[in-house]
Amino acid sequence: MISLLLVCLQAGQPIQLAEALQPSQLAAPYQADRAALRRLWSFPWSPAGRAASRSLQQDWLAALDNLEFSNLSRSEQVEWHLLKNEILHDQAALMAEIRREEEVAALVPFAGPLVSLLEARGFRELPDPEASASILHESLDRLRQAKKDLKKNKPEVSAAVARRAARKTASLRRSLASWFQFGSGYHPLFTWWCQEPWEAFQGALRDYENFLEKEIGGLDPKDQDALVGDPIGRQALLEELAFEWIPYTPEELIQIAEKEMEWCLRQRKEAAQALGFGDDWKAAQDHVKTLHVEPGEQPALIRMLADEAVDFLESRDLLTIPDLAKQVWRMEMMSPQRQKFSPYFTGGEVISISYPTAGMDHEDKLMSMKGNNIHFSRATVHHELIPGHHLQGYMSQRWNPHRRLYSTPFSVEGWALYWEMRLWELGFPQTPEDRIGMLFWRAHRCARIQFSLSFHLGLWSPEQCVDFLVKAVGHEPRNAEAEVRRSIQGGYGPLYQCAYLLGGLQLRALHRELVESGDWSEKAFHDRVLQENSIPIEILRQAMSDLPWPSPSSSRWRFYPEF
């Protein structure tokens, strides 16, 4: 499992990185090695796959420890920390995945011999046709018995665990289908022995996936809109926070979010008073929601708001915006299906515009228009395009592109959220309606920390998360449900929703250190952050300073001084 790079790094006495490879050459080989193993061992419950991943991780860590860290340049030390952090996270993620597979193994008690068939293929061992047919036949009997046993003594598992077991079973089925296709029709004896037992077992396995979801989990397998998430628990949250170099507990982060939400509430009341609604910020926000364009006019609004943000930034010389970056971004309309997960537009080089379509229900159309009104949109176009995700993505392809391996939402989303805060400070909101729009999103970022961590700690149900977004932020119910669905089952990491505000607060604290209390200019600071690419922000802080590296036992950067 040792790559050529590892052979170079592990040979002989400790070596200096400069004597072997350039810093940027470390990321790609590890990424390629990891991806190769994931392609080979792509099915669940595989002891061989787990062992191979462990071996690769240990070899790479040993190679890094073989370097003489004190003799490395600052940029080389940054690369060393980035790669080691990535590998340590992969180690923790592997252990977490093993635990999650073991939690559902009892629901799929017939998997072992099937995994052995797949592992044999991974070792390029040709299957024994008669023995393979026997395994399929016996597995079908065991599957049927497992279903009877589970019906008789239904286990107390959550809907999320049942769905996880079903999805692991589906992954196993897909890998077995590939295994069967390798021999079917090409090996006469394999086809003769395995065709019938495979067809019988494949259908039963597919039915078993539905059985797990429907009868064990109480779910409708066809209902993809159900709010079903899989909380990871406090210990796993602490491990994820350590990977992100965040020295706070989940409980402390919820307190930070509550404190920031209090600031939002004071500002919302001030804006409501300016609009003649007294302290009733909800009434003021409901008024702002009615200020939307007519159907078909949203793209023109987005284009105008994008130009406005660029003009604001360039007139103050806040950062470098390449001409090509201003030219190449594009627009598309978001599908109705995707709007169930993303009720607001998303961005990057392509900004995907969320707005009602002709086939939506009447109430859904109204909620979509309210949620994407002029002032909410004005507060987020710069988040998605320039200076936010589009400019960030443009620069990440041109500066330290190898570091995209280490990309973290605390930097990606934190950068865009930082600009929401910085533009507020610079007077970007021109009217009380603009302030209401910006504060809606600021409050939403606070709420994301509160509801996502409370969910993963097992304190809140998905329905409680939806209610909280409606009451505390002022979301339309449909949009709140879509936000929660996106958070708990949309393919995002458990800290993703926390990363917006926390990453923004980290960058805001770094701005205070280097610009407000240091000798960096605004433009130099912002350009350098983009050029370093999207890496954990404490490592970014080290890259932009001459601070000593923290040891594993020392306290890390407490970027929020109140805690």
What is the pTM assigned to this prediction?
0.89
Mean pLDDT, residues 172-189 = 94
Q: Sorting pLDDT into bands at 50, 70 and 90, what band is 23?
A: low
Neighbouring CB atoms inside 10 A of 551's CB total 7
Q: In this structure, what is the dihedral angle of CA atoms 253, 258, 262, 263, given to the nearest 10 degrees?
A: 20
- Is it the case that residue 338 has pLDDT exceeding 90? no
266 and 292 share one domain: yes
Tell me, yes or no, whether 486 and 528 share the same domain: yes
The yes-or-no verdict on residue 235 having pLDDT over 70 is yes
For residues 304 and 369, state if they share a domain. yes
| Diameter of the chain measured on Cα atoms | 83
Q: What are the backbone dihedrals phi and psi of residue 330, each rounded to the nearest 5 degrees, phi first?
A: -130, 170
The whole-angstrom separation of Cα 219 and Cα 131 is 37
User: Containing domain of residue 371, as a range?
Assistant: 237-543
Least confident range of 59-73, 247-261, 451-465:
59-73
**What is the distance between the alpha carbons of residues 189 and 211, in angstroms, rounded to a whole number?**
33
Burial class (CB in 10 A: 0-12, 13-18, 19+), 266: exposed
For the chain, what's the residue count? Answer: 563
Of 54, 70, 104, the last residue of a domain is 104
Judged on CB neighbours under 10 Å (0-12, 13-18, 19+), 188 is exposed
Listed in sequence order, the residues at least 6 apart from 251 whose beta carbon sits closer than 8 Å to its beta carbon are: none
End of a domain among 86, 104, 122?
104
pLDDT per residue as tens digits for the range 99-155 = 999 999 999 999 999 999 999 999 999 999 999 999 999 999 999 999 999 999 999
DSSP codes, 482-550: HHHHHHHHSS--TTHHHHHHHHHHHHHHHHIIIIISSS--HHHHHHHHHHT-S--HHHHHHHTS-PPPP
Give the pLDDT confidence of 285-320 residue by residue, as tens digits: 999 999 998 888 888 999 999 999 999 999 999 999
Residues 465 and 428 in one domain: yes
Is 550 a residue whose pLDDT tops 70?
yes
> Is the model more confident about 47 or about 474?
47
Q: Which of 86-95, 187-196, 358-367, 399-408 has the lowest mean pLDDT?
A: 358-367
Statement to judge: residues 454 and 539 lie in one domain: yes
Q: How many CA atoms lie within 13 A of 220 on its CB side?
A: 6
Let me know if residue 548 belongs to a domain: no
Structure tokens at 277: 């609604």
In a domain, 555, yes or no: no
Question: Span 188-193, mean pLDDT?
Answer: 94
Residue 19 predicted with pLDDT over 50: no
Q: Give the pLDDT score at 396.
A: 95
Instruction: Determine how many CB atoms are found less than 10 A away from the CB of residue 36.
Output: 14
Task: Find out whether 469 and 475 touch, Cβ atoms under 8 Å.
Answer: yes
CB 54 within 8 A of CB 106: no
Domain count, the chain: 3
Please check whether residues 350 and 313 belong to one and the same domain: yes
- Coil, helix or strand at residue 222: coil
Q: Give 350's strand partners.
A: 330
- What is residue 295's three-state secondary structure? coil
Co-location of 100 and 112 in the same domain: no
In a domain, 8, yes or no: yes
Q: How far is CA 107 from CA 41, 157, 159, in A?
A: 21, 10, 13
487 lies in some domain? yes
Based on the fold, state whether residues 112 and 202 are members of the same structural domain.
Answer: yes
Instruction: Determine, yes or no, domain membership for 560.
Output: no
Contact between 331 and 299 under an 8 Å Cβ cutoff? The reply is yes
Residue whose tokens read 């002989």:
12
Tens of pLDDT, residue by residue over 369-421, are 787 888 988 888 999 999 999 999 999 999 999 999 999 999 999 999 999 99
Residue 109: cis peptide before it, omega within 30 degrees of 0: no
Evaluate whether 345 touches 334 at the Cβ level (below 8 Å).
yes
Q: Are residues 462 and 424 part of one domain? A: yes
Q: Note whether residue 549 is domain-resident.
A: no
Are residues 121 and 99 both part of a single domain? Answer: no
| Same-domain check for residues 358 and 470 | yes
Which of 80, 104, 128 represents a domain boundary (last residue)?
A: 104
Asked whether residue 192 falls in the same domain as residue 246, the answer is: no
How would residue 8 be classed by pLDDT, with cut points 50, 70 and 90? low
Residue 414 lies in a domain: yes
pLDDT of 344 reads 67
Residue 229 lies in a domain: no
- From 231, 99, 95, 207, select the one nearest 158 (Cα to Cα): 231
User: Are residues 21 and 5 in contact, defined by beta-carbon separation less than 8 angstroms?
Assistant: yes
Measured N-to-C along each axis, helices 111-122 and 129-152 cross at an angle, to the nearest 10 degrees, of: 150
Q: How far apart are CA 465 and CA 443, in angstroms?
A: 14
Handedness of CA 344, 288, 432, 301 (dihedral sign): positive
